[in-house]
Amino acid sequence: MNIQWDAKAYTQSFSFVHQYGRDLIELIHQPEGARVLDLGCGTGELTLRLREEGMAVMGMDASPDQLKIARSTHPQIDFLLGDATDFSLEKPVDVVFSNAVLHWIEGGRHPQMLKKVHAALRPGGQFVFEFGGAGNNHLIHQALRKGFEKRGYPYVFPFYFPSIGEYTPRLESAGFKVVYARLFDRMTELEGEDGLYNWIKMFIKAPFKEIPESDEEAIISEALLELEAKLHIKGKWYADYVRIRCKAIKNPC
């Protein structure tokens, strides 16, 4: 994973992340009583929703700060500290569920992550997930990149946004049968007058790591001016999300 979270701000201002993940749950077949791992559970809002749907769920996340909130808010659920590319379970589960997480894992580490997910599932188990797909936030990244290049800085792109054609072969190579795959646009409303500014400050951290604060603020300001015509609609800011949503079944051994 390549981000350090401000867990409190994430919880207060970016609830849309787990809210949009609710209909992903509908892809789970025979959810009642299923043993589920919510991989990259964050503060546990979707983990709770999985439990309310009758599943025996546990959450796992690499962020101690996120897990602290999850454990205090949902004490009835077990939450584990773990890295999606390096974890194991005592017993296999029926479902590994993941929402808005996998794009934070470098593309070269996805085969290792898929190997771990495969090992965590029983034969016939379901891997149900959604994350940023090809073209995700293209307008935002394009505007920021201009500001970096104008000042002679490289724009270090920290995300992995694959197409269906790129990702489904990875699933098949890892021992999965892909039964559902969709890439779709989802323009997403951001909260408050400074919605896009706050979104950039929360999620676009890596490119700014070595940039002076004065240049960072200037780059963001220029990007907001450029994006206003496209992403500021009827007084509200939006992010130009594109999602890849898949369901894959672990092939019988």
Phi, psi values for residue 233, rounded to 5°: -120, 120
pLDDT above 60 for 7: no
Q: What is the mean pLDDT of residues 33-45?
A: 96
Indicate the CATH number for domain 7-135+159-190+241-250. Answer: 3.40.50.150
Residue 213 burial (C-beta neighbours within 10 Å; 0-12, 13-18, 19+): exposed
pLDDT at residue 98 is higher than 50: yes
pLDDT at residue 249 in the model: 98
pTM: 0.92
**173-188 confidence digits (pLDDT tens):** 999 999 999 999 999 9
Q: Is 13 a residue whose pLDDT tops 50?
A: no
- Asked which of 13-17, 95-99, 149-153 is least confident by mean pLDDT, the reply is 13-17
The whole-chain average pLDDT of the chain stands at 93
**What pLDDT score was predicted for residue 14?**
46
Each residue's pLDDT tens digit, 182-227: 999 999 999 999 999 999 999 999 999 999 999 999 999 999 999 9
What integer pLDDT is reported at residue 18 of this predicted model? Answer: 56
Question: Does residue 9 register a pLDDT over 70?
Answer: no
* Mean pLDDT of all residues in 52-78: 97
Mean per-residue pLDDT, 42-66: 96
